[in-house]
Structure 1
Amino acid sequence: MSGNQRQSKRIQTRRENERLILEAAEKVFAEAGYGGATMQLIADMAGLPKANLHYYFATKEELYRTVVARIFEIWLHAAESFDNAPGPVEGIGAYIDAKMEISRRHPFGSKVWASEVMHGAPVIQDYLETTLREWTDGRIGAIQRWIDDGLMDPVDPRHLLYMLWATTQHYADFGHQIETLNGGAALDAGQWAGATETVKRIILRGIGAREIRPDLAK
């Protein structure tokens, strides 16, 4: 095996181990909370020796902050729909699509975030005061521009964002309740699609979102 092949193998192994650790950590932190989680529990869930865990993440707090940052980065990527969208139908509609898909694919990460915030954000308060605040202010600006352009009703952009978060993340944070009311089964692909379209229709109609007329588009 050449030097380049060995290097490529090491990189691949590292990425796979980090994926296993982060997925295991999301589940353990979501189920046990920060205080109840241990590095040993996470290592067992990941199927790796505890020493491997400490090689990648020196402390539980470092691993926890990485899990929180990971779900937030995924949410940030979803919000890119705001940046270049011509109006709320496209921007908020795509954001709802993305957030619902994230709740389907990353329920444990969402639960970790929710639990942390409900406990007063003892570990990530600095994150809320910087990254989240800047992100929120930027999205408020986009919504306000659509209001000023007459593309949606004059609602409070901040409270609209809170509603979007609460609604889409409900499907992750309260997944057990939804499954119980669904006959004890997780939503299938068709049910997820139906839920997404329902949420999107209710919110877009509720804010009076209007599509840009083709003859007026720049």
Structure 2
Amino acid sequence: MNLQPPRTRIQRKNTENILNAGLEVFSRHGFRGATLDQIAAEAGLSKPNLLYYFPSKEAIHVTLMDRLMQTWLDPLRKLDAGGDPVAELLAYVRRKLQMSRDFPRESKLFANEILQGAPRMLAALEGDLKRLVDEKATVIAGWSRAGRLARIDPHHLIISIWALTQHYADFDVQIRAVLGPGHDPMTEAESYLVTLFTKLLTPEG
């Protein structure tokens, strides 16, 4: 059985530098607009050195998307079927907004991939993502049937949460332009979205 030797500390560092550089370049220019020369320059490496670690631009992008998908799924995985329905969904809203605050480049990378038709991650969207969404949608539907949550389409609820939280990362420049100086978009967004979803999700009576 052939085992690959463990990578050295320098190799691990260079790999992470390349991936971080790729994230920066892809989130700024999209997959089509990004080049290996740009990524190498951002990473502080020569192009031949970069190609020692990754054979192509697509290889860097695929690695980033694989990592991102797992990060993107984590907030929904934490939705607890045994918890209070409204509290669990509000916590999910907060986690998604926190991701927009902490990972704006990753959000833009994801958005760019989707806008291109998801050629490098469609299988993950139709596989892991769909299975998890279907699982949590079943939980939400059960809460609604039990009268613990307002009657609502669970799939469209999840999609709405994505739209209303990720927008703050993907369209940050637009939001800041509209709000003007003196505003903290993420803090204000959290207060607004918690109020909005509390009213939407709380069952009548």
Equivalent residue in structure 1 for 2:194, among 192, 197, 200 = 200
Where do 5+ consecutive residues of structure 1 fail to align?
1-6, 211-218
Distance 1:56 1:35 in 2: 21
Q: Is contact 1:85–1:91 with CA below 8 Å preserved after alignment? A: no
* 2:75 corresponds to: 78
Distance 1:180 1:127, change over 3 A: same
Q: Which moved more, 1:43-52 or 1:13-22?
A: 13-22
Q: Is contact 1:43–1:53 with CA below 8 Å preserved after alignment? A: yes
Equivalent residue in structure 2 for 1:153, among 125, 150, 154 = 150
Paired AA for residue 50 in structure 1: K
SS at match of 1:121: coil
Distance 1:43 1:35 in 2: 16
Kindly indicate whether residue 24 of structure 2 is the aligned counterpart of residue 64 of structure 1: no
The equivalences for 1:112-191 within 5 A come to 112-183=109-180, 188=184, 191=185
Identity %: 35
Distance 1:145 1:28, change over 3 A: same
TM-score normalised per structure 2: 0.85
Q: How far does residue 153 in structure 1 lie from its aligned partner after superposition?
A: 0.9
Distance 2:27 2:203 in 1: 36
Distance 2:69 2:203 in 1: 27
Distance 1:17 1:85, change over 3 A: farther
SS at match of 1:98: helix
* 1:34 corresponds to: 31
* 1:213 corresponds to: none
Equivalent residue in structure 1 for 2:46, among 40, 44, 49 = 49
Where do 5+ consecutive residues of structure 2 fail to align?
1-5
Distance 1:28 1:151, change over 3 A: same
Equivalent residue in structure 2 for 1:16, among 13, 19, 23 = 13
SS at match of 2:142: helix
Distance 1:198 1:54, change over 3 A: same
Equivalent residue in structure 2 for 1:103, among 88, 92, 100 = 100
What is the CA RMSD across the aligned residues, in angstroms? 2.4
TM-score normalised per structure 1: 0.81
Distance 1:169 1:73 in 2: 16
Paired AA for residue 71 in structure 1: L
Q: Is contact 1:89–1:209 with CA below 8 Å preserved after alignment? A: no
Distance 2:112 2:41 in 1: 22
Distance 1:118 1:153, change over 3 A: same
SS at match of 2:80: helix
Q: How far does residue 121 in structure 1 lie from its aligned partner after superposition?
A: 1.5
SS at match of 2:73: helix
SS at match of 1:144: helix
Pairs aligned (count): 199
Distance 1:208 1:47 in 2: 52
